[in-house]
Structure 1
Amino acid sequence: MLLALANCDEALTSSVAPQPRPVALAPEPIAYVPPSAASQDLARFYQRVERDLLTRGLLRIDGGGPDAPYDADDLARNFEVIAFYSEYPDHAVTVSSRQTDGQLSRWTGPVRIQAEFAPSVAPAAREQDAAQIEAYAARLARLTDHPISVVNRKANFHVFFAGKDDSAFVVTRLKQLIPNISQALLDLVANPRANIDCFVFASATSTAPHRYVRAVTLIRTELPDLLRQSCIHEEIAQGLGLSNDSPAARPSIFNDDDEFALLTSHDEKLLTMLYDPRLQPGVTVEAARPVVRIIARELMGQQL
């Protein structure tokens, strides 16, 4: 003990600066493997889809405008539908959705997002996607006032970018991350239906079924730039707890009409409401309704 204390005193008076602990290095990136002809065909198909949507005035990136007004009542009504219920299994897959419909589910601990790129994702696309996730995570943290960050290790929210050729890679990684993952989810990941270009599933624990502890998103790398960014915005937001879509929600990405590609002003308010401390995980839609109405009016600047 005295020797240790003496060493401490010596260190405190030394002119040599203490060496910082080594920083954990990010894992080595997966080597790039050019996509197959089938994957390239799928990429051309999605390019045609994106062009068609843009030609029809869809996939807007303006966040909403005078042509898409909404008030506090709209916001409260849309929040109830989008935050208290889950669309399963069409687009967002929430593992516990069948048990928690009608009750609020979200994260209570820090959300640590990590992007993982399968072999067929080109290096330039990896850089672009990683930068978009970094910026989006910072935006989500500001909107929710919740600890949301991008990490290289010990993630609990994994965002996979993978293509038609990468099923084996993704299945292997999911088995490593979630040893008890169901075969149904593995099958969905390995062979997603043609109309599914991205999806997310979030999981809780049996003792706290409304508190998410892990989420996994899969985004097809064959998607062109705007559709891929649209998937980043919607799937991560849904993985945070806005797990449903509503045809009445406008302007919103939580609407399957594809009018808006990126998070809107309306959607930002939904996220702020979701992580308002006055709404706790597990609260029922009926019990939350008066509070939801108050929060919506506060956010819209309308009289209570």
Structure 2
Amino acid sequence: MFKKIAFLLLLSACAAPTVHEPTARRDSRTQFDGNTFPAMKTFSGTAIPRANRSNSQIAQDFLDLSFRLESGRRIETLSRFEGPITVRMSGKRPPGADNELARLLARIQREAGIQITMVPQNKTASINIETISRRTLQKYLPNAACFVVPRITNWSDYKRNRRGAVTDWTTLRSRQHTAIFIPNDVSTQEFRDCLHEELAQALGPLNDLYRLPDSVFNDDNFHTILTGFDMLILRTYYAPELRSGMTSSAVQAALPTVLQRLNPSGGAVRPAPALQTPVEWKRAIETALSPGNPKQKRTQSAAQAVEIAQKYGWTDTRRAFSHYVYSRMLLSTNTDYALKQFLTARQYYIQTGNTQAQLAHIGMQLAGFALIDGNGKAALQIADSHLADARASENAILLSTLLMIKSEALLLLGRDAEAQAVALDSLGWARYGFADINAIRRRQAEISGLVSTRS
């Protein structure tokens, strides 16, 4: 039971966990030292599917994303950059960061139709990306992984103005300069994830919606790169029919024409049912996910989120995520009920659709359960069935962990040569996803520790 609990706690986390020192490795596994670890692998040429929902729903999503902040504060008018947009990046960054920014800007140009280009770091730009240490960043925003602010060009400028109206998004009528601050002592994947989410908000909507199944504009953090839906939202944001200073009602009147042109397969825009998420549910989820809260309070809040989702009759990602979070809170006290909640979350994600990334995370955990049970065949089948979705979502932590599980499954099946080849593959992706080699070794030890015996 302890192994099951430890495994689920590990894999439900968004970042590499703090764990005990690695256990001794088995003789059947290939050994690597810091000099012989494989080179970091990177993603390229990923085919991002287009948004495939109705224009009626997209129109409602666009309005809800664009005219509120995450805090719930109302934004009275649309604000955006008018004209060509420039980007600069300064400061130390992890390997491959410049390439990731270039890939992202190319995608925005191609998929969102926005004219956006890099300029040298000694030039002031429309969007100014500056890297600082995680400790420095979290001294000012303790719970933030990275963030974006308006009317600011550098860190010193932010420190001088952070408590005033200068950095208040609700007072903007158009965007001239924004600044993005990202830690410089993180993995390439974490750095890239920040680039995608913060650059999208620097350009466009500032809100997040838990109901969105296929978007980085969702605080569930399952999606780490901009999706086809996100690019359509940005393309709509910069459509010529819209402009800075437009009110919500004016934008709503223009959206049918814009979306019919940009997304003809989505059909005509018709009145859509209101899908507002009550504050009580958001508060319950945020309390459950806050590690600083007492465990009992977190568990009670997660149970409350499930009750609220049931009360409103939700069957979408909010219902699924409620059960997912509740299962995490139950792991140390009621493993059987935690598993039931976990599988219920899976059911609702399947029902919702457009949730391949979420299901890949769940598949990773199910494959881990199979390893614990010594069922190499099931672990192999489950891991294999989600590898493509892990690659498509460009989540190297997820991909490398699935490959580690696959390697262990192959060892259970006596296919040692294949297992070692897969293990080597996993390490290349792990170098992209984890901050350092020690973190990779800990993850390897945790996965191999799921198998108590091997025939």
TM-score (norm 1): 0.61
Q: Secondary structure at the match of 2:150?
A: strand
1:200 corresponds to 2:183: no
Q: Which amino acid aligns with 1:76?
A: A
- Give the whole-Å Cα distance in 1 for the aligned partners of 2:173 and 2:111: 21
Q: 1:85 aligns with which of 58, 68, 89?
A: 68
Question: Helix, strand or coil for the counterpart of 1:277?
Answer: coil
Alignment partner, residue 15 of structure 2: 50
State yes or no: 1:156 paired with 2:156: no
Match of 2:200? 237
Q: Which structure shows the higher helix fraction?
A: 2
Does the alignment pair 1:76 with 2:54? no
Give the AA of the match of 1:133: L
Higher relative contact order (CA 8 A, sep 6+): 1
Partner SS state of residue 270, structure 1: helix
Aligned pair in 2 of structure 1 residues 101, 234: CA closer, same or farther (>3 Å)?
Answer: same
Cα drift, residue 141 of structure 1:
2.4
Gaps of 5+ in 2: 1-9, 18-45, 153-165, 269-455
Distance 1:223 1:88 in 2: 27
Identical columns (%): 23
Give the deviation of 1:209 after TM superposition: 3.5
Q: Is the 8 A contact 1:83 1:242 kept in 2?
A: yes
Tell me which of 180, 198, 204 is aligned to 1:217.
180
Q: Which of the numbers 179, 197, 218 marks the counterpart of 1:255?
A: 218
For the 8 Å contact 1:253–1:262, the answer to whether it is kept is yes
1:248 alignment partner, SS class: coil
- CA 1:209–1:192 in 2, change beyond 3 Å: closer, same or farther? closer
Residue 85 (structure 1) shift: 2.2
Is this contact kept in 2: 1:64–1:251, CA < 8 A?
no
- Tell me the SS of whatever aligns to 2:87: strand
Distance in structure 1 (CA, Å) of the matches to 2:251 and 2:126:
28
User: 1:1-304 maps to which residues of 2 (within 5 A)?
Assistant: 49-51=14-16, 63=48, 70-87=53-70, 101-118=75-92, 121=93, 125=94, 128-152=96-120, 153-164=123-134, 167=136, 189=137, 191-203=139-151, 209-301=172-264, 302-304=266-268
8 Å CA contact 1:252–1:264 kept in 2: the answer is: yes
* Structure showing the higher strand proportion among its residues: 1
CA distance in 2, matches of 1:266, 1:49: 22
1: distance between equivalents of 2:104 and 2:238? 17
Q: Distance in 1 between matches of 2:183 and 2:224?
A: 16
Instruction: Please state how far the C-alpha of 1:63 moved relative to its aligned partner.
Output: 4.9
Kept in 2: contact 1:63–1:262 (CA 8 A): no
Give TM-score, length-normalised by structure 2: 0.42
Question: How much does 1:69 deviate?
Answer: 5.4
Residue 259 of structure 1 aligns with an amino acid whose one-letter code is F
CA distance in 1, matches of 2:182, 2:57: 30
Whole-angstrom distance in 2 between the partners of 1:210 and 1:143: 25
Q: Which amino acid in the other structure matches residue 227 of structure 1?
A: E
Residue number in structure 2 paired with 1:32: none
Equivalent pairs, count: 211
Runs of 5+ consecutive residues of structure 1 not aligned to the other structure: 1-44, 53-60, 90-97, 168-188
1:145, 1:226 → 2: CA distance? 25
3-state SS of paired residue (1:235)? helix
Judged with a 3 Å threshold, the aligned counterparts in structure 2 of structure 1 residues 214 and 270 are, in CA distance, closer, same or farther, namely same
Following superposition, the deviation at residue 235 of structure 1 comes to: 0.2
